Every structure is written in structure tokens, then in C-alpha cells.
């Protein structure tokens, strides 16, 4: 298991490789998946990130069951 305090390599889509502490790296990748990655950016990594964002948007666009009932 990776510690959240230990340094971790992450990759920015335009500036490339950088090192952050684990919590900042996890936050960057989780909050900005089209900008930051734990893997070097390739067309496949970009497609996976876009698919993840599209999936999350689809899941979050549906109202909870019963939310529209009065």
C-alpha cells in the first residue's frame, strides 16, 4: 500500500512528470482526471480518462429515484 505522505510520481497532460506527496497526487488525479494521471499520457490513457469523466457525468446527471415525485 502506498502511503499518502510518501512522494508519488504523477504526470500532467502538458508539463509532464512531477513529484507530489501522495495525498496531493491522489487529489489531483481524482479531481482533475483529464489533467493529471498516475501513468504517462498516451492516447489510451487519455481515452480512459475521457470515458471515466463521461461515466461520472452520466451517473451524476440522473436524479435519485423518487426525487421528481411530489
Q: β-pairing, 7-12 with 16-21?
A: antiparallel
In the chain (70 residues long), the average pLDDT of successive 10-residue segments reads 80 97 95 97 97 91 68
pLDDT score recorded for residue 68: 62
pLDDT score recorded for residue 67: 65
User: Do the Cβ atoms of 39 and 13 come closer than 8 Å?
Assistant: no
Neighbours of 49 (CB within 10 A): 20
Amino acid at each position: 500500500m502506498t502511503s499518502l505522505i510518501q512522494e508519488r510520481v504523477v504526470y500532467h497532460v502538458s508539463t509532464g512528470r512531477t513529484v507530489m506527496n501522495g495525498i496531493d497526487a491522489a487529489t489531483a488525479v481524482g479531481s482533475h482526471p483529464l489533467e493529471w494521471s498516475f501513468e504517462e499520457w498516451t492516447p489510451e490513457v487519455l481515452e480512459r480518462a475521457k470515458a471515466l469523466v463521461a461515466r461520472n457525468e452520466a451517473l451524476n446527471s440522473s436524479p435519485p429515484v423518487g426525487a421528481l415525485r411530489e
